[in-house]
Amino acid sequence: MQISIENIDLLKFPQQTLNSTATFTNKFIKHVLPKAKRFVINDTEVTGLKLRVSPNGRKRFIAVGKVRKSKKVRTKTLGDANIISLDDARIAARQFLTQLQSGIDANELDALQKIEASKKALTLNDALNNYVTDRQLKPKTVASYHYEIPKYCKLFLFKNVCNITENEICEWYLENKHRPTSIDKAFRSLRAIFEYLLSTKVISHNPCTAVTARKLRYKIKPRTRRIETYDLTKFMDAWLYLLQKGRIGTLQGDFVLWLLMTGCRLNEARTIRWSDLDIEQLAVTIIDTKNNHPHVLPLTPLMNDLLDRRKFDNPSANPYIFVAKKGKGYSDSKHLIDCRKTLDKITTTANIPQIRPHDLRRTFTTILDELDVSESNIKALLNHNDGTVTRKHYLQATNLEVKRRNLWAVGKYLERAVTVDGINQETGQLCIFSCVGSIRQFIYGTATCDFSEIKGKRTAKEILDAMR
């Protein structure tokens, strides 16, 4: 019988069975033939080194071992047997198996290395997106971050966060001294992002701390703009005049009055729904507040009249009290956005300095102070946290009727600020009166003016003389 060369090779390198063992040589590996199913051959020289042969003929070196203590089986593909040499495969297998024997989980190590690599490639823009995604922030706050960081931090936006230095942050901060308020707000947002990166161990130090440590922060004065006491009559007269002449709509007029007599923040007021009204307690509860604490406002006669008009004018399908305009009518689903144009009309007519929505909140606070309302009760009406022991542990919330009394005092204060002409019953002369009921009579038609108090301009000297 004649034996061919092919038959000689088969005698020298018999076909391996599944999971068989052999001493690997380059020639042996070259002559291993595939089977119908994938199989593995174990190397006798390096325990754990295997040759995996697929039905398509592909041969790969793999290393298999157990992690010390945990006994978890770990497998690592070392490479294609047609590319990587046997010697290199044995060296790589020994390194891998040594790690496992040392108690190092190779899979976890690889995962950590990938994480570290991704961290090193993380840009400020990536960090911004991660921050707003991981943190439970309100949509308005998220929008603020997405506006401030790209606008004011262009220098760092696509730079690796690990490579942003203290000196770069300080130079950037000082170069924008022409817009201190905007840049300081952007700086606070940037610092928050770096604090987040520090807590997640992406960086080991927050470079923004250098600005404070080197005493470079701009001294930003808090905003104190409000309607001054001596301008309140001008404001209320202009508001009333424009409403009566139809130069501002009833919706905008009601909204401005609501802000002024309740002290609500713009976003809190414009998102109030009819479902927030408690008919039994005669109160409205604002859920979505800045500090996430529900804010309960009891209704006063003036607030109640305003709500009655809004209920009558608004589309029945719209859930909001202060609805958005749509063409010549109202929207069925959206709420009002802003009242700045209306405020501009009022202040222009009144010939007083420009006012913005939050300035009405400061005016509300000033009125409460002039009415000698306690600081604790002012905080309750502003929905500010009161950290005093008494308030925190004993007075959990200001009594609803105390709030109602104080809110109504503000309402009457605003009505008395309106200029009302009338006849003095004692002298028969034309006088200017300070009337409770003026707004309700002239705007809502639900009351009559009380002509018992004559309004007079009081100078600082007259006030001082009255104190003697």
Domains and CATH numbers, the chain: 5-118 (3.30.160.390), 121-213 (1.10.150.130), 229-444 (1.10.443.10)
* pLDDT, position 272: 95
* pLDDT, position 10: 41
State how far the Cα of 317 lies from the Cα of 390, in Å rounded to an integer. 44
* pLDDT, position 433: 83
Give kind and range of the element (H or E) at residue 431: strand 430-434
* pLDDT, position 2: 43
What would you report as the CA-atom Rg of the chain, rounded to the nearest whole angstrom?
Answer: 38
- State the greatest distance between any 2 C-alpha atoms of the chain, in Å, as a whole number: 148
Regions of the chain short of the pLDDT cut 70: 1-19, 106, 109-120, 387-398, 456-463, 466, 468
pTM of the model: 0.70
Q: Considering the chain, what percentage of its residues have pLDDT values greater than 70?
A: 87
Q: Tokens 């008009």 sit at which residue? A: 309
* pLDDT, position 9: 44
* pLDDT, position 432: 83
* pLDDT, position 60: 93
* pLDDT, position 270: 94
Q: Which residues contact 364 (CB under 8 A, 6 or more apart)?
A: 259, 260, 261, 262, 263, 381, 410
* pLDDT, position 13: 47
Q: For residue 124, give both structure tokens.
A: 């400020």
In degrees rounded to 5, what are phi and psi of residue 33? -100, 150
Within 10 A of 359 (CB to CB), how many other CB atoms are there?
20
State how far the Cα of 247 lies from the Cα of 345, in Å rounded to an integer. 9
* pLDDT, position 69: 78
Q: For residues 37 and 64, is the Cβ–Cβ distance under 8 A?
A: no
* pLDDT, position 393: 52
Q: For residue 126, give both structure tokens.
A: 């990536």
State how far the Cα of 292 lies from the Cα of 143, in Å rounded to an integer. 18
